[in-house]
Chains A and B, each alone.
Chain A
């Protein structure tokens, strides 16, 4: 019986060199990403373990991104501890508060290659599947053990295969597609499983659009979201990785999937999708929400804070104004994204339209700072989670949507179909 991408990649990181769905195996990790969880939670576990070494300083990536720069004393203390850790162990890869969101900066770093097995201290570590790496999030204790040993255990997941055909053209974005897929799967529809995304639509996507999809695979409960590298992904890796460009892993033709789903975008008539609170799996066509007044439009996060996201927002908002009843906050996902957007004049366009542009951080996405919601406020957001309390007050309402829908809604002050704003 053939093997899936998850089986192959996990298998190649075991001593036996092989693994099948359902096995519980010990794996060697290629790279570990840790953010503020390091200073806050992992370091105390390392103390408890009486560990005073790291397994490999060149395979640990530390980021200060969630509350960056520190909005309060507590965050400052966590950042300070991270810096101290980096200095003490001579960690090679460190992004301090000036860098951007962990997943984006890690993708930009060139340290992720097809075929790698990557763990992050963050559930959206599934993002790196866009480059053909198996990646997943684990929490403090598991990360501490990886820091000490470079190893962890994984239960090899079964895989759901999703094939997508058809044109995805602006203002439709991969965000609309993934919101639709998650709505169909349900928020635990892929629990304990991996998702493989295939088909010509995925094959044609930019790296940015692919990351959005793999990033949100976790919102259906998936352990990982995987794609085979396309030309865009190959070029991305080639231009960033030093020398080693990894090993592309393809699923076998006779790989066994627990489920295979086919989507033809034309025949399903995919529309811009919006997920109403309180679940990312509650997506419905935007037409069902049109007219809902918003207080805030947020464009940012590891899901949709990249150049193509800012670019489409600027294209929709050029020469227009953010509605006087609303505010718009734009948080580029990384310094690199920010600088490129500056060069392209995107930042200027957005600011002229009245948007507030912040430094690169998780910020509003996690209700940390730079756009926290008050009681009863309504936000349309390009992020990935709309749980109660996620972006501030528990009575605030978060609607998840694509950057195009966020921009169109900012202009009208209410949830708006981006296709209308595009043609105006």
Chain B
């Protein structure tokens, strides 16, 4: 994935759990666009409306703790979020994000390094984040190979399809 992500950084605190990303009461909404309007409304009311494609969420420790709900990364992706950068991620959120093709980057002291709303450019494969106005370059932890494969394929479903076609053509 050579694609670079360009947008604004929106900063949230430590310990933003899945209920704060998307509250349990909205999980029965079947349409993701409709659900996504409620994304992050507990910690950052009104933010969902401001998000434009390519924007980035920046968080502190243990982003996405709690539920296994895939709706959490999904609503962010549906809003156009290009990647999430955090000091650390809860295990399930991390896995779910890559499964749906949303990069999650680990950066030390992440949420203290960004000004809310500033312009950033992210190169996921290199793990580099450029703070445009300030000319600062930040280095994230490298994305593990399996996660990189998921991103390159376009998510777990795409990877599954690639593998099944390979298997079928090998058998033929």
Q: Which residues of A contact B (CB under 8 A)?
A: 24, 36-37, 40-41, 45, 48-50, 67, 72, 74-75, 77-78, 121-123, 125, 137-142, 144-145, 148-149, 153, 187-188, 191-192, 221, 223, 279, 366-368, 385, 387-390, 392, 394
Contact = CB atoms under 8 A, between A and B. Distances in A.
A40 B90 contact: no
Given A122-B68, A137-B68, A142-B99, A387 B17 contact: yes
Interface in B118-172: 146, 155-157, 160-161
A390 B24 contact: yes
A123 B42 contact: no
B157 A45 contact: yes
A207 to B, nearest CB: 24
Given A188-B62, A188-B65, 8 more contacts: A48-B157, A74-B29, A121-B68, A139-B92, A140-B70, A145-B160, A366-B24, A389-B24
A138 B91 contact: no
Given A24-B146, A188-B61, A188-B62, A78 B92 contact: no
B28 A78 contact: yes
Given A191-B62, A387-B17, A394-B23, A123 B28 contact: no
Interface in B21-55: 23-25, 27-30, 42
B96 A141 contact: yes
Contacts of B17: 387
A187 B62 CA distance: 8
A383 to B, nearest CB: 12
A144 B159 CA distance: 13
A412 B61 CA distance: 38
Contacts of B160: 49, 145, 148-149
B91 A192 contact: yes
B108 interface: no
B28 A72 contact: yes
Q: Which of B17, B28, B29, B157 has the most CB of A within 10 A?
A: B28
A397 B71 CA distance: 24
Contacts of A144: 157
A37 to B, nearest CB: 8
A223 B69 contact: no
Given A50-B161, A141-B157, A389-B19, A40 B28 contact: yes
A78 to B, nearest CB: 7
B67 interface: yes
B88 interface: yes
